[in-house]
Amino acid sequence: MLQPRVSAATLIACAFGWQLRCLVLSASRFQHILNDPGQTSEAYAGHAGRALSLVCSKRRGTILSDFCKKELARLNPGSKIEGPTPGNRCNGARRSASQAEYDFSMDGAKIRCKSAQMSWKRRENRWVVNFRSVKLPWPGFRDQAPFDHLYLILFSPDSLHIIKHDLRTGVYSVGKSTGSEGHSIHVRGPPGQKCWQTARSQILQKLLAPGHGHCKLVAHIDLSGNSLRSGPPSSSSRNVLDVRKAQDEMLKKMEAWGCQPLATILW
């Protein structure tokens, strides 16, 4: 027979002979919280990326990784792209396809895609992007990364930026869990700058500007559909229909995840 759970507060109250009472507060006491959507939600509201911002991070990561794969295939039409080989865990057990340490291969090179939503951090008073669980070389755990190339997908209210990372810029360890979970790639906007467009420009500069690192902009997709661009800035607006097709495929994937009511406010 299952025993009812007793909270720690109840146990402490019983030990000291205290009497617990429920305190009920009116919702009006918290109206200022309910009326404040937050800086991040406010920035995405009314922009093409709003629907995608409402999808949970894991599903959004799957959608954007698949989009990145299709975009790389479009930009490299002669390349051979294949699914991942899951391999085995450290205990010898075979991984499932979803647990592979890279997303796909392109001409034999293992590709890993990591996405992050640009978000406002109130404690830091700035916009940030944080790409988590990137398994870079770490003494005692990995002599080398389980992939050959790393692509970052920076998701902001109106755009996607696909960036080939140099495996160095913005890399931070995350304490004892670095060995098992991987590093974080953390890039911050200027403190006190609430304009997300300005902050995004600063974040991209830190990733792409000469002297900061050797990251490379692979594609910029304007989600609004007003001026679709894909590929480096020098490539101009080419294959717009192909980009639109890829966006439509992203919508279908969102609908497959149960996001149909949201998809109508995208492109």
CA neighbor of 61 nearest in space, from 188, 170, 160 = 160
| pLDDT value at residue 22 | 75
Virtual CA dihedral for 243, 209, 185, 198, nearest 10 degrees? Answer: -70
Q: What percent of the chain has pLDDT over 90?
A: 48
Give the strand pairing for 109-117 and 149-156: parallel
Question: If you average pLDDT over residues 196-207, what whole number do you get?
Answer: 96
What distance in Å separates the CA atoms of residue 153 and residue 215, rounded to the nearest whole number? 12
CB atoms within 10 A of CB 237: 12
| pLDDT value at residue 259 | 47
| pLDDT value at residue 39 | 87
**Amino acid identity, position 183:** H
Say if pTM beats, i.e. exceeds, 0.85: no
What distance in Å separates the CA atoms of residue 70 and residue 151, rounded to the nearest whole number? 13
The answer to the question of residue 191 being in a domain is yes
Strand partners, 106: 81, 109
Domain that holds residue 198: 38-87+94-263
Q: pLDDT tens-digit profile of 159-169? A: 999 999 999 99
Please give the tally of structural domains in the chain. 1
The answer to the question of residue 2 being in a domain is no
Q: pLDDT tens-digit profile of 228-246? A: 344 554 443 344 445 555 5
Length of the chain: 267
Concatenating the DSSP letter of every residue in 76-101 gives -TT--EE-----B-TTSPBPPGGG-S
Q: pLDDT tens-digit profile of 12-61? A: 767 676 776 777 877 767 665 555 558 899 999 988 888 889 888 999 99
Question: If you average pLDDT over residues 100-123, what whole number do you get?
Answer: 95
Question: If you average pLDDT over residues 97-120, what whole number do you get?
Answer: 92
- For 264, what's the count of Cα atoms within 13 Å in the CB-facing half-sphere? 2
Q: What percent of the chain has pLDDT over 70?
A: 70
Range with lowest mean pLDDT among 126-140, 187-201, 239-253:
239-253
Listed in sequence order, the residues at least 6 apart from 228 whose beta carbon sits closer than 8 Å to its beta carbon are: 221, 222, 237, 240, 243, 244
DSSP state of 35: T
The answer to the question of residue 219 being in a domain is yes
What distance in Å separates the CA atoms of residue 79 and residue 55, rounded to the nearest whole number? 31
Tokens 């160095």, residue located: 168
The answer to the question of residue 15 being in a domain is no
The answer to the question of residue 26 being in a domain is no
What distance in Å separates the CA atoms of residue 162 and residue 164, rounded to the nearest whole number? 7
The answer to the question of residue 167 being in a domain is yes
The answer to the question of residue 7 being in a domain is no
